[in-house]
Structure 1
Amino acid sequence: MPTRPTLRQQFLRRKPLHSFTTDSSEAGGLRRTVGLFQLTMIGIGATIGTGIFFALDSAVPEAGPAVIVSFALAAVVAALTALCYAELASAVPVSGSSYSYAYATLGEFAAWAVGWCLLLEYAVSGAAIAVSWGQYLNDLTERLFGFQMPAAISAPPGAGGIVNLPGVVLVGLCCLLLVRGAKESAVVNTVMVVVKLGVLALFVVVGATAFDAGNLLPFAPMGMAGVSAAAATVFFSFIGLDAVSTAGEEVRNPRRTLPLAIILALVGVTTVYVLVALVGVGAQPWTRFEGQEAGLSVILGSLTGAGWPAVLLSAGAVLSIVSVTLVVLYGQSRILYTMGRDGMLPSAFHRVSPRTGTPVFTTLLTGGFVALLAAVFPLDLLTDLTSMGTLVAFAVVSLGVLILRRTAPNLERGFRVPGYPVVPILSILACGYLVYELPLATYLLFGGWLALALTVYLLYSRRNSCLETTDTARTLEETPA
Structure 2
Amino acid sequence: MTGRIGVARGTALYVGAVLGPGVLVLPALAVQAAGPASLLAWALMLAVSVPIAAAFAALGIRYPDSGGVATFTRQAFGPGVGTVVGWWFYAAVPMGMVAGAMAGARYATTALSTGPGAAAVIATGMLAAAYALNLVGLHLSGRLHLALTGGLCALLITVIVVSAPHIKASRFTPFVPEGPAGVGSAAAVLFVAICGWEAAAHLAGEFTRPRRQLPIVAGASLGIIAILYAGLAICTVGVLGASGGRSEVPLLRLLGPQGGVASVVTALCALLLTFSACFTFIAAAARAGAALGRDGAFPGWFAATGAGGVPWRSLAVQAGGAAVVAVAALAAPTVVDVDLLMRAFSVLLASVTLLGLAAAVRLLSSPLIRGGAAVGAVVVGGVAVCGGPLLILPAAVAVAALTWRRHRPAQRDLPAVRPGPKPAGGTTSRRIAEVDVQPRRSYDLVNPAARTGASGRTHRSP
TM-score (norm 1): 0.79
**2:49 equivalent among 58, 78, 101:** 78
What does the per-residue CA deviation read over 1:234-280, in whole Å, with 9 as the maximum and x for residues that have no partner? 12111112222111221110122223322321222121111111122
Structure 1 CA distance, aligned partners of 2:242 and 2:91? 36
Q: Provide the identity percentage.
A: 22
- Say yes or no: does 1:404 pair with 2:359: no
- Say yes or no: does 1:270 pair with 2:226: yes
Structure 1: runs of 5 or more not aligned: 1-24, 26-30, 156-163, 410-415
Higher CA-based Rg: 1
Corresponding residue for residue 337 of structure 1: 290
2:51–2:369 CA contact under 8 A, matched in 1: no
**1:201 equivalent among 157, 160, 163:** 157
Structure 1 CA distance, aligned partners of 2:245 and 2:341? 26
CA drift of 1:66 comes to 2.5
1:41–1:190 CA contact under 8 A, matched in 2: yes
The letter for the 2-side match of 1:315 is L
Stretch deviating more after TM superposition (66-75 or 98-107) = 66-75
2:93–2:285 CA contact under 8 A, matched in 1: yes
Q: Give 3-state SS (helix, strand or coil) of 1:248's partner.
A: helix
**1:429 equivalent among 359, 371, 378:** 378
Corresponding residue for residue 327 of structure 2: 375
Question: What aligned pairs does 1:121-132 form with structure 2 within 5 A after superposition?
Answer: 121-132=92-103
1:63–1:220 CA contact under 8 A, matched in 2: yes
CA drift of 1:342 comes to 1.7
Corresponding residue for residue 436 of structure 2: none
CA drift of 1:220 comes to 2.8
Structure 2 CA distance, aligned partners of 1:443 and 1:233? 16
Q: Give 3-state SS (helix, strand or coil) of 1:200's partner.
A: helix
Corresponding residue for residue 220 of structure 1: 176
- Say yes or no: does 1:294 pair with 2:253: no
2:235–2:254 CA contact under 8 A, matched in 1: no
For the structure 1 residues 392 and 445, does the alpha-carbon distance in structure 2 shift closer, same or farther, using more than 3 Å as the test? Answer: closer
Structure 1 CA distance, aligned partners of 2:360 and 2:186? 29
Aligned length: 415
- Say yes or no: does 1:319 pair with 2:272: yes
What does the per-residue CA deviation read over 1:212-251, in whole Å, with 9 as the maximum and x for residues that have no partner? 2232233333333322322222121111122221112211
The letter for the 2-side match of 1:419 is L
Question: What aligned pairs does 1:63-462 form with structure 2 within 5 A after superposition?
Answer: 63-139=34-110, 142-143=112-113, 148=115, 150=117, 164=120, 166-284=122-240, 286-302=241-257, 307-353=260-306, 355-377=307-329, 378-379=336-337, 380-405=339-364, 416=366, 419-439=368-388, 441-460=389-408
For the structure 1 residues 73 and 166, does the alpha-carbon distance in structure 2 shift closer, same or farther, using more than 3 Å as the test? Answer: same
The letter for the 1-side match of 2:323 is A
Structure 2 CA distance, aligned partners of 1:357 and 1:430? 37
CA drift of 1:420 comes to 4.6
What does the per-residue CA deviation read over 1:111-158, in whole Å, with 9 as the maximum and x for residues that have no partner? 000001112332221122133454345346x44xxx5463xxx56xxx
Structure 1 CA distance, aligned partners of 2:132 and 2:217? 26
The letter for the 2-side match of 1:437 is C
CA drift of 1:41 comes to 1.1
For the structure 1 residues 401 and 149, does the alpha-carbon distance in structure 2 shift closer, same or farther, using more than 3 Å as the test? Answer: closer
Corresponding residue for residue 5 of structure 1: none
Stretch deviating more after TM superposition (342-351 or 130-139) = 130-139
Stretch deviating more after TM superposition (103-112 or 342-351) = 342-351
TM-score (norm 2): 0.82
For the structure 1 residues 273 and 149, does the alpha-carbon distance in structure 2 shift closer, same or farther, using more than 3 Å as the test? Answer: closer
The letter for the 2-side match of 1:227 is V
2:191–2:383 CA contact under 8 A, matched in 1: no
Structure 2: runs of 5 or more not aligned: 330-335, 417-447
The letter for the 2-side match of 1:385 is A
CA drift of 1:101 comes to 0.4
CA drift of 1:461 comes to 6.3
Structure 2 CA distance, aligned partners of 1:463 and 1:109? 14
Structure 2 CA distance, aligned partners of 1:310 and 1:137? 8
Q: Give 3-state SS (helix, strand or coil) of 1:463's partner.
A: coil
What does the per-residue CA deviation read over 1:360-380, in whole Å, with 9 as the maximum and x for residues that have no partner? 222222222223322333254
Q: Give 3-state SS (helix, strand or coil) of 2:238's partner.
A: helix
CA drift of 1:462 comes to 6.2
The letter for the 2-side match of 1:448 is A
